[in-house]
Amino acid sequence: MGDRRRSFKGVWWSDPTSLLRDPDGMMGRLLSPGQMHDYWRHPEFDRLAVEARFTADESLRGDAYRRMTAIFLEQNPWLVVIQPFEDYGIRRYVEFTPNPDQQLELRRFNFRLRRA
């Protein structure tokens, strides 16, 4: 039998966050050459991804990821079908900051009850 692999460009349910809370989770892990979404290539995006991944300079990383985001939004390689709305009901005496990666962090530095 021959090779029956197909190039399927269907619906992909993805949560492009990183467990380390780093932009490389999406920019590198999902969109880089050889990764899960290697059907879209942009030379500047790919160059910036490598640059950002291997530098310790936070300013350079931030600039690279901002430019990569702009390229991504200009090219629009994904069709966003749903973007969930996260809603948290909190009383006034509760101090809590939700995380963008949907992890509930309930340790003391992020979740406190104020005394009335």
Q: How far apart are CA 75 and CA 116, in angstroms?
A: 51
Q: Is residue 57 part of a domain?
A: yes
| pTM given for the model | 0.63
Q: Is residue 33 part of a domain?
A: yes
* Whether pLDDT at 11 is above 90: no
Query: Per-residue pLDDT averaged across 58-85, rounded?
Result: 87
pLDDT band, very low/low/confident/very high, at 67 (cuts 50, 70, 90): very high
* Whether pLDDT at 111 is above 80: yes
Its domain, for residue 41, covers 24-75
pLDDT band, very low/low/confident/very high, at 103 (cuts 50, 70, 90): confident
Q: How far apart are CA 95 and CA 51, in angstroms?
A: 38
Phi and psi dihedrals of 113, rounded to 5? -110, 120
Q: Is residue 68 part of a domain?
A: yes
Q: Is residue 15 part of a domain?
A: no
Structural domains in the chain (count): 1
Q: Is residue 6 part of a domain?
A: no
Q: Is residue 99 part of a domain?
A: no
Q: Is residue 64 part of a domain?
A: yes
pLDDT at residue 40, rounded to an integer: 85
Q: How far apart are CA 74 and CA 71, in angstroms?
A: 5
